[in-house]
């Protein structure tokens, strides 16, 4: 989730950098405000279905995901917004923000992987593909952290525009661009696989249940998955291009406008996965406890229409119980 834009310092064009710096601030503040607004909107639901319920491994993943990301947002704001810091302070801020970003990215990917694993009836192939992708993203994230560091903007043209900036190993940056691999590219590949596997497994069942006039958890999964993929495809494509090609060469109004566009889009690529995975988990928790769940998934108005063969086991507990679309029978325990 290393999405900060690295600016090349050029004392000949202070106004150009000033305008681009303001665009970066605006994009960061808007995306952070969007996340906070979504957090406040979903907090009552979170309290009801996460905090007031018995702790599970999935609820622990959810909490780690959401609140590690909030720490990332806070440290990134301090890192980017105007202020004065020494190189050591900027380095600590950058390292902390990237650690929190990595933790949030990994837990987001794990939650999506468990959803795919559940709807494919504990397919080891699906699980292996998902965790191979997570491993690749984690490895690349570590390489980026090793080859980048936060530095103070003191005595640079960015002084007064933002507190710190990022210094990247030039050789590593060139290799990354030649190979064409970035966290954004890997993220798009992972999202495409998750969406494709979800669509393949749920679309027929969701359409059939709708035809019979019933609601189904597969409709929730399909809606959330489609919304997530479409949004991330658009934002991710622009972000991946921006990261791989950087801010366009030349300092004129055209490149400034392109830089502004990238500055507005890149922060949302970071924010949207956390917003959407949080809503997915909460939606499934709400659905699993709703009064119509049993009626909606066990018996149709025309005979019996079997639910998908979702996986159930003691380790995954409540992330898979909602996929089954049923509330537990008396004496059953899905919370482990």
CA–CA dist 207, 92 (Å, integer)? 51
At 158 the pLDDT is: 64
Give 64-69 contacts, CB < 8 A, sequence gap 24+: 64/103, 64/104, 64/107, 65/103, 65/104, 65/107, 65/108, 65/111, 65/274, 65/277, 65/278, 66/39, 66/274, 66/278, 68/100, 68/103, 68/104, 68/107, 69/35, 69/100, 69/101, 69/104, 69/274
At 219 the pLDDT is: 60
pTM over 0.85: no
pLDDT band at 25 (very low <50, low <70, confident <90, very high): confident
Mean pLDDT of 38-57: 93
CA–CA dist 50, 62 (Å, integer)? 9
Mean pLDDT of the chain: 73
With 90 as the cut, is the pLDDT of residue 116 above it? no
At 103 the pLDDT is: 93
At 257 the pLDDT is: 59
Least confident of 96-110, 135-149, 209-223, 319-333: 319-333
CA–CA dist 59, 46 (Å, integer)? 10
CA–CA dist 181, 304 (Å, integer)? 48
How many Cβ atoms are within 10 Å of 310's Cβ, its own excluded? Answer: 21
With 80 as the cut, is the pLDDT of residue 35 above it? yes
C-alpha radius of gyration, the chain, whole number: 22
Q: What is the dihedral of CA 98, 234, 45, 113, to 10 degrees?
A: -70
Phi and psi angles of residue 116, each rounded to the nearest 5 degrees, phi first: -65, -40
Cα 49 to Cα 52, 55, 56, 116: the distances in Å are 6, 10, 11, 22
pLDDT band at 8 (very low <50, low <70, confident <90, very high): very low
At 192 the pLDDT is: 81
Mean pLDDT of 95-116: 90
Least confident of 75-84, 284-293, 300-309: 300-309
| Structure confidence by residue, pLDDT tens digits, 66-79 | 999 999 999 999 99
Task: Judge contact between 119 and 221, C-beta under 8 A.
Answer: yes
Cα 204 to Cα 17, 114, 217, 231, 320: the distances in Å are 52, 21, 13, 23, 20
At 44 the pLDDT is: 94
What tokens were used for 112? Answer: 């999506």
With 70 as the cut, is the pLDDT of residue 129 above it? yes
Domains annotated for the chain, with CATH where assigned, are 14-300 (1.20.1070)
Looking at per-residue pLDDT, the higher value among 287 and 286 belongs to 286
């Amino acid at each position: 989730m290393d999405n900060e834009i690295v600016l090349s310092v050029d004392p000949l064009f202070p106004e150009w950098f000033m305008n681009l710096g303001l665009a970066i601030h605006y994009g960061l503040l808007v995306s952070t405000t969007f996340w906070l607004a979504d957090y406040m909107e979903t907090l009552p639901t979170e309290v009801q279905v996460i905090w007031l319920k018995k702790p599970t491994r999935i609820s622990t993943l959810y909490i780690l995901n959401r609140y590690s990301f909030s720490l990332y947002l806070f440290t990134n704001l301090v890192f980017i917004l105007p202020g004065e810091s020494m190189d050591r302070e900027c380095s600590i801020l950058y390292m902390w923000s990237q650690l929190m970003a990595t933790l949030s990215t990994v837990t987001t990917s794990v939650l999506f992987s468990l959803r795919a694993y559940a709807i494919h009836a504990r397919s080891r192939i699906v699980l292996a593909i998902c965790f191979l992708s997570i491993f690749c993203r984690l490895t690349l994230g570590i390489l980026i952290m090793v080859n980048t560091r936060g530095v103070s903007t003191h005595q640079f043209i960015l002084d007064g525009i933002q507190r710190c900036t990022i210094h990247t190993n030039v050789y590593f940056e060139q290799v990354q661009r030649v190979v064409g691999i970035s966290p954004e590219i890997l993220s798009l590949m992972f999202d495409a696989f998750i969406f494709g596997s979800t669509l393949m497994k749920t679309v027929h069942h969701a359409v059939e249940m709708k035809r019979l006039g019933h609601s189904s958890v597969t409709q929730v999964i399909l809606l959330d998955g489609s919304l997530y993929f479409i949004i991330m495809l658009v934002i991710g494509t622009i972000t991946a291009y921006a990261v791989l090609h950087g801010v366009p060469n030349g300092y004129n109004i055209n490149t400034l406008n392109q830089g502004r566009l990238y500055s507005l889009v890149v922060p949302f690529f970071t924010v949207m996965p956390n917003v959407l995975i949080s809503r997915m988990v909460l939606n499934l928790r709400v659905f699993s406890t709703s009064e119509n769940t049993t009626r909606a998934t066990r018996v149709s108005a025309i005979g019996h229409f079997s639910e998908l063969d979702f996986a159930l086991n003691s380790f995954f507990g409540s992330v898979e119980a909602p996929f089954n679309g049923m509330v537990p029978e008396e004496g059953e325990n899905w919370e482990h």
